[in-house]
Amino acid sequence: MTVSGPVWKTLLKVLKERGVVHLTLIDPDPVKQSADAAGKIAKLAEAAGTNGIMIGGSTAFGIIDETIQTIKQQVQIPIILFPGNISGLSRFADAVFFMSLLNSRTTYWMIDAQTLAARFIKNFDLEPISMAYLILDPGGTAGFVGDARLIPRDKPEIALGYSLAAQYIGFQLVYLEAGSGAENAVPHPMVELLSNKLDVPVAVGGGMNTAEQAAATAAAGADIIVQGTIIERTILKDKGKLLTKTIEAIQQAKKK
Ligand code: 1GP
CA gap 116, 232 in Å, rounded: 30
Question: Tell me, what's the pLDDT at 31?
Answer: 83
CA of 155 to the centre of ligand 1 (A): 21
Q: CA 168, CA 162: separation in Å to the nearest integer? A: 10
**CA dist 230 → 22, 62, 217 (Å):** 14, 20, 16
Ligand 1 centroid from CA 174, angstroms:
15
Q: Which amino acid is at 53?
A: I
Q: What is the pLDDT of residue 63?
A: 85
Half-sphere exposure of 145 (CA within 13 A, CB side): 12
Q: Which atom of ligand 1 is nearest to the CA of 207?
A: 8
Helix (H) or strand (E) holding 229: helix 229-238
20 CB neighbour count, 10 Å cutoff: 25
Rounded CA gap, 20 and 164, in Å? 21
Question: CA dihedral in degrees (228, 31, 33, 244; nearest 10)?
Answer: -20
Structure confidence at residue 27 (pLDDT) = 92
pLDDT at 2 (0 to 100): 57
Domains belonging to the chain, first-starting first, are 6-255 (3.20.20.390)
What's residue 255's pLDDT? 85
Calpha distance 206→50 (Å, rounded): 17
Burial of 65: CB neighbours in 10 Å, binned 0-12, 13-18, 19+: middle
Reduce the DSSP state of residue 53 to 3 states and report it. Answer: strand
Residues of the chain with pLDDT under 70: 1-3, 59-62
Give pLDDT tens digits for 181-208.
999 999 999 999 999 999 999 999 999 9
- Name residues contacting ligand 1 (CB within 6 A): 25, 142, 177, 180-182, 205-208, 226-230
Question: Which atom of ligand 1 is least distant from the CA of 58?
Answer: 4
- Please give the number of the atom of ligand 1 that sits closest to the Cα of 57: 4
- Measure Cα distances from 203 to 218, 221, 235, 244 in Å: 10, 10, 22, 19
How far is it, in rounded angstroms, from Cα 130 to Cα 96? 8
Cα 246 to ligand 1 centre (Å): 15
